[in-house]
Amino acid sequence: MEATLEKHHEERHAGLEGAKMGMWLFLFTELLLFGGLFAAYAVFHSVYAKDFEIAHHHLNRTIGFINTIVLITSSFTMAMGVWSAQTNRKNLLNLFLLLTILLGVAFLVVKLTVEWPVKFHEGLYPGGKEFNHFIQEGHKGQALFFSLYFMLTGLHGLHVLVGVLVLTGILIMALRGKFSSEYYGPVEVSGLYWHLVDLIWIYLFPLFYLIK
């Protein structure tokens, strides 16, 4: 029994330092996961530079920009959340977590109700009418552009969704008063994850919306 307690204690102990290290390692694998897609982007962009330039005009720069601002703001509120936890400001922590979640949801809402539906309507999705048209007309690069667009923003959107779910869990724990300046590991670790999700978008935005 004593040993069990000790084990539990050790686990929590390894948890603070170890969990952060584990999360960094995990984030690194996430970067590599997206790295594979970025590599594909680089290869096809070098082959079909012109097609990519033409295709990117189909994307709405304004909406992309708004979403970028939304995510950057959410990164800020997340950082403030971690600071609040570290400095034992529990109400602020709740507030900032809630804000971060709402911003994440806002990002997804814009993506799923404004951006993507327009593309679907125009047939600019893998298997869509306009998309198949590109392939038949020999503008294969434009088809690849939209394949990459949907794969990358889709995978990223999935990560945002996971982030929102994780942060909701953290918020529930925070509302129950689990965190304090003594124990805030989960807040910090999920914050790291949220920053990565944000960071990836910072790369996605210019790659798709701002091609020269």
Give the binding site for another protein (CB under 8 A). 3-4, 6-7, 10-11, 14, 17-19, 21-22, 25-26, 28-37, 39-40, 43-44, 47-48, 126-128, 131-132, 135, 140-141, 143-144, 147-148, 150-151, 155
| CB distance 41 to 156 below 8 Å | no
Q: What share of the chain is helix, strand, coil (3-state, %, to 5)?
A: 85, 0, 15
In whole angstroms, the minimum distance from the beta carbon of 7 to another protein comes to 5
For residue 108, the SS3 value is helix
Distance in Å, CB of 56 to another protein, minimum:
16
Nearer to another protein, 59 or 101 (CB): 59
Sign of CA dihedral 76, 79, 81, 84: negative
Based on CB atoms, which residue is closest to another protein, 31 or 172? 31
- To the nearest whole angstrom, how small is the minimum distance from the Cβ of residue 8 to another protein? 10
Rounded CA gap, 156 and 174, in Å? 26
Number of neighbouring beta carbons within 10 Å of residue 182: 6
- Closer by beta carbon to another protein, 34 or else 194: 34
Any idea which residue has 């097609």 for tokens?
51
Non-local (6+) Cβ contacts of 77 within 8 A are 96, 99, 100, 103
Q: How far is the CB of 155 from another protein (least distance, A)?
A: 8
Judged by beta carbon, residue 93 or residue 124, the one nearer another protein is 124
Nearest residue (CB) to another protein, 72 versus 117: 117
Q: In angstroms, what is the minimal distance from the CB of 124 to another protein?
A: 12
Q: What angle do CA 144, 146, 150 make, to 5 degrees?
A: 120
